[in-house]
Structure formats: structure tokens, C-alpha cells
């Protein structure tokens, strides 16, 4: 069954969040889209947000079916805030290579736990721009 043939939004989201292989800049990657649990409006439009910093990884969100994500007035900030709430953001960390891993330390430590190096890979948000678009709008039916 093709993704476009799925008529149940929950089933569609589940299918779209499955791991798949893709080629990106000549290298094969396993990609598992990160679902953002906060639903905006009626939640009948399924969209992707792909940060340029973490391509080919991307986020899947449910927003209002009447929202035009290609309109100049579209405000992506509330969606980025929802990603930060769910997955954190690298902006709160001082990042560096530790051995062969890209890790971060919290910039404003409150205690010794905050002094530890942590993984800052996807799905943690790293946003210096990106792209977004509608995958399927269930409100159009």
C-alpha cells in the first residue's frame, strides 16, 4: 500500500515514522523521522520539518488542516518550540568533539549532572534554517 492510499491519520503517521534507508550525498543513511506529539489546531494536516543541520533526518508534525505552510505569513516558530520542548535544542549546549563523538555540555549548569557530556544528535533540534511542507492533508477529504 502506498502512503497516499492510507485514509486513517494514525495509521499514516505510524507508517511515515518507520525507519527507511536513503542516499544522502553519496552515503547510505537509516532515517527514522521524529514524531512531535503536540497537535496544533485540528491536527488533520501532516507536515515535515527538515533542518538543514540534521539532513536527511526530519520531524513529522500534525497541524491545522487550514494552515497554508507555503504562505509568506506562515509562522514556523511555534512548531520549532514544540520540537524543542519534546527533544531539546543544541542551542543550550557547548558542543565539541569528544573522541569520535559530537557531544555537548549544558551552557548553564545547576549541578554536577549538568557538567556531563551528552549526545546532541538528532532528534535534538539544531536549527539554522531548513525546509518544511505538507505530506498529507486529511482535512481535504
pLDDT tens for the 141 residues of the chain, in order: 467 777 899 999 999 999 999 999 899 999 999 999 999 999 999 999 999 999 999 999 999 999 999 999 999 999 999 999 999 998 888 888 888 887 888 777 666 665 677 887 889 999 999 999 999 999 975
Residues 55 and 73 in one domain: yes
Residues 62 and 104 in one domain: no
Which domain does 115 fall in, by range?
A: 90-121
Residues 60 and 100 in one domain: no
Residues 62 and 79 in one domain: yes
Residue 103 CA to residue 119 CA, distance in Å, equals 5
Residue owning grid cell 487550514: 66
Q: How many domains does the chain have?
A: 2
| pLDDT, position 1 | 45
Residue 95 parent element (H or E): strand 93-98
Residues 117 and 136 in one domain: no
Residues 36 and 20 in one domain: yes
| pLDDT, position 114 | 59
Residues 27 and 45 in one domain: yes
Residues 33 and 100 in one domain: no
Q: Could you give the 3-state DSSP secondary structure of residue 6?
A: coil
Residues 73 and 15 in one domain: yes
Residues 53 and 12 in one domain: yes
Residues 99 and 68 in one domain: no
Question: Which residues make Cβ contacts (< 8 Å) with residue 74, sequence separation at least 6?
Answer: 67, 68
Question: Which residues make Cβ contacts (< 8 Å) with residue 102, sequence separation at least 6?
Answer: 95, 96, 120, 121
Amino acid at each position: 500500500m502506498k502512503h497516499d492510499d492510507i485514509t486513517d491519520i494514525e495509521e499514516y503517521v505510524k507508517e511515515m515514522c518507520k525507519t527507511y534507508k536513503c542516499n544522502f550525498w553519496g552515503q547510505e543513511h537509516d532515517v527514522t523521522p521524529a514524531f512531535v506529539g503536540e497537535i496544533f489546531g485540528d491536527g488533520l494536516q501532516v507536515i515535515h520539518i527538515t533542518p538543514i543541520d540534521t539532513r536527511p533526518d526530519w520531524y513529522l508534525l500534525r497541524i491545522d488542516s487550514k494552515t497554508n505552510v507555503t504562505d509568506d505569513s506562515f509562522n514556523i516558530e511555534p512548531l520549532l518550540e514544540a520540537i524543542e520542548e519534546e527533544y531539546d535544542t543544541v542551542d543550550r549546549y557547548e558542543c565539541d568533539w569528544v573522541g569520535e563523538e559530537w557531544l555537548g555540555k549544558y551552557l548553564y549548569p545547576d549541578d554536577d549532572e549538568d557538567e556531563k557530556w551528552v549526545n546532541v544528535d538528532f532528534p535534538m533540534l539544531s536549527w539554522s534554517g531548513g525546509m518544511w511542507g505538507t505530506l498529507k492533508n486529511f482535512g481535504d477529504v
